């Protein structure tokens, strides 16, 4: 794209869908926020998602969540150092661990940080659209911080996108000032060229079940706004909930305090769920190897007046609903 034909402004009629446009005036920027790159008959555009629910975010020290947030915060401070060494200013972080352990919480905290600093987050939905959209974005905003979120990376790979994604990660010109943040519950389902290849995903961070001290801290925080303090023996709950994730702890609190469930029965039920998840993990790893490629057509998004079915593509995972 020649310099004279590069877009220099974002055009919008509803403050949610932003199209790159050619205009002879000073460049404007996208409002900081979380976006999905979409396509229409007039080209690709950046759609501003609904605000993220931050009401339950808690950052605990000495956890995988804290490590992930700190790693990316530190990365943003190293731009000059990367430039002096002529290294691309980009980073890839792969979060892995059991369901409910806090990977989505880590993502929300990282998004909160970058948006608060004037950057944007992009929910990855399609390799080709991302490639086109990032070209436009960097033409208009060459230095803005970007976090690209790829949840359930193993699902993308097993739907036939591995080559497209690896090509994307291998040095696209628009990927400076960018962090790729991916998650998976099944790291063993990923090929070595994804999980063991720095410069694609430079660091793997395990987010597992919280420690006893973190479980206690979580419960104390939960009870700080609760009328059920007399129902909860924090020390006992923290001791008895070994190997339970934050999702299990929340269910434990709801069952016992809201629905008057028996304490011992609830603990046993949740431990059985953990055991069942471990068995399902082994089964899922085998099933993922058998997933076939499907062809589907993009459909109209009722929430977006611009969305149109423009091309056929392989079926891909939906963007995570809880992030917009």
Q: What's the CATH number where 194 sits? A: 3.40.50.300
User: Is 230 a domain residue?
Assistant: yes
Residue 252 has pLDDT above 70, yes or no: yes
**What are the CA-CA distances from residue 212 to residues 244, 247, 293 (Å)?**
10, 15, 43
The answer to whether residue 36 is domain-embedded is yes
Instruction: State whether 250 and 183 are in the same domain.
Output: no
pLDDT tops 60 at residue 294 = no
Query: 80: which residues sit within 8 A by CB, 6+ positions away?
Result: none
Give the model confidence (pLDDT) of 264-289 as tens digits: 999 999 999 988 766 555 555 555 54
pLDDT in tens, 198-238: 989 999 999 999 999 999 999 999 999 899 999 999 999 99
> What is the tens place of the pLDDT at every residue in 78-125?
999 999 999 999 999 999 999 999 999 999 999 999 999 999 999 999
Tally Cβ neighbours within 10 Å of residue 227: 8
Give the largest CA-CA distance in the chain.
Answer: 70
Q: Are residues 67 and 152 in the same domain?
A: yes
pLDDT for 300 equals: 35
Looking at residue 244, its pLDDT comes to 95
Cβ–Cβ under 8 Å, residues 31 and 141: no
- Does residue 163 sit in the same domain as residue 86? yes
Q: Which of 154, 189, 208 is the last residue of a domain?
A: 208
Q: Do the domain assignments include residue 219?
A: yes
In a domain, 322, yes or no: no
- C-alpha closest to that of 222 among 87, 95, 58, 62: 58
Clarify whether residues 47 and 193 are in a common domain: yes
Q: Residue 287, Cβ neighbours under 10 Å: how many?
A: 12
pLDDT of the residue at 167: 87
Q: For residue 322, what pLDDT is reported?
A: 45
What does the pLDDT look like over 118-164, one tens digit per residue? 999 999 999 999 999 999 999 999 999 999 999 999 998 877 788 88
Q: Kindly state whether residues 188 and 104 are assigned to the same domain.
A: yes
- Global pTM value: 0.81
Cα separation, 39 vs 43, whole angstroms: 6
CA atoms 127, 150, 92, 9: torsion sign: positive
Kindly state whether residue 321 falls inside one of the protein's structural domains. no
| Residue ranges making up the domain that contains 74 | 31-208
Mean pLDDT of 166-170: 87
Question: What would the two tokens of residue 237 be?
Answer: 């709950």
Q: Which of 8-17, 35-44, 169-178, 230-239 has the lowest mean pLDDT?
A: 169-178
For 187-221, give the DSSP string: GGGS-HHHHT-TTTS-EEEE--SPPHHHHHHHHHH
Q: Domains in the chain: how many in total?
A: 2
Task: State whether 37 and 86 are in the same domain.
Answer: yes
Residues 15, 298, 20, 130: is their CA dihedral positive or negative? Answer: positive
Beta strands in the chain (DSSP E): 9-11, 17-21, 33-40, 43-48, 90-96, 120-123, 146-150, 178-184, 203-206, 295-297, 312-314
Residues 194 and 70 placed together within one structural domain of the fold: yes
**Residue ending a domain, choose from 208, 229, 251:** 208
> Do 141 and 217 reside in the same domain of the chain?
no
Report the chain's mean pLDDT, rounded to a whole number: 84
| Residues 135, 36 share a domain | yes
Instruction: Give the model's pLDDT for residue 317.
Output: 46
The answer as to whether 72 is a domain residue is yes
Range with the largest mean pLDDT of 3-12, 187-196, 232-241: 232-241
Task: Report the pLDDT value the prediction gives residue 98, as an integer from 0 to 100.
Answer: 92
Determine the pLDDT at residue 15.
Answer: 87
Give pLDDT, residue 111. Answer: 96
């Amino acid at each position: 794209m020649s310099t004279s034909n590069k877009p220099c402004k974002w055009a919008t009629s509803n403050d949610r869908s932003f199209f790159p446009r050619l205009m002879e005036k000073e460049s404007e920027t996208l409002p900081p926020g979380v976006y999905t790159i979409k396509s229409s008959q007039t080209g690709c555009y950046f759609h501003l998602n609904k605000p993220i629910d931050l009401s339950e975010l808690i950052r605990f020290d000495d956890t995988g969540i804290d490590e992930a947030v700190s790693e990316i915060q530190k990365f943003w401070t190293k731009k000059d150092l990367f430039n002096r060494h002529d290294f691309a200013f980009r980073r890839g972080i792969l979060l892995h661990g059991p369901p409910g352990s806090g990977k989505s919480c880590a993502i929300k905290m990282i998004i909160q940080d970058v948006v608060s600093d004037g950057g944007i987050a992009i929910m990855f939905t399609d390799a080709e659209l991302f490639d086109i959209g990032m070209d436009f974005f960097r033409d208009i905003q060459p230095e803005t911080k970007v976090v690209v979120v790829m949840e359930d990376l193993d699902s993308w790979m097993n739907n036939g996108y591995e080559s497209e994604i690896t090509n994307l990660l291998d040095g696209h010109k628009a990927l400076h000032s960018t962090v790729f943040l991916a998650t998976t519950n099944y790291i063993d389902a990923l090929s070595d060229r994804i999980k063991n290849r720095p410069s694609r995903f430079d660091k793997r961070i395990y987010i597992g079940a919280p420690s006893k001290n973190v479980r206690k801290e979580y419960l104390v925080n939960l009870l700080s706004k609760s009328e059920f303090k007399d129902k909860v023996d924090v020390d006992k709950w923290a001791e008895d909930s070994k190997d339970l994730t934050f999702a299990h702890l929340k269910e434990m609190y709801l069952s016992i305090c809201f629905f008057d469930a028996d304490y011992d029965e609830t603990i046993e039920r949740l431990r059985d769920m953990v055991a069942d998840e471990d068995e399902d993990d082994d089964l899922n790893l085998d099933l993922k190897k058998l997933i076939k490629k499907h062809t589907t057509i993009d459909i109209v998004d009722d929430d977006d007046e611009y969305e149109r079915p423009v091309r056929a593509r392989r079926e891909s995972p939906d963007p995570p609903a809880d992030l917009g």
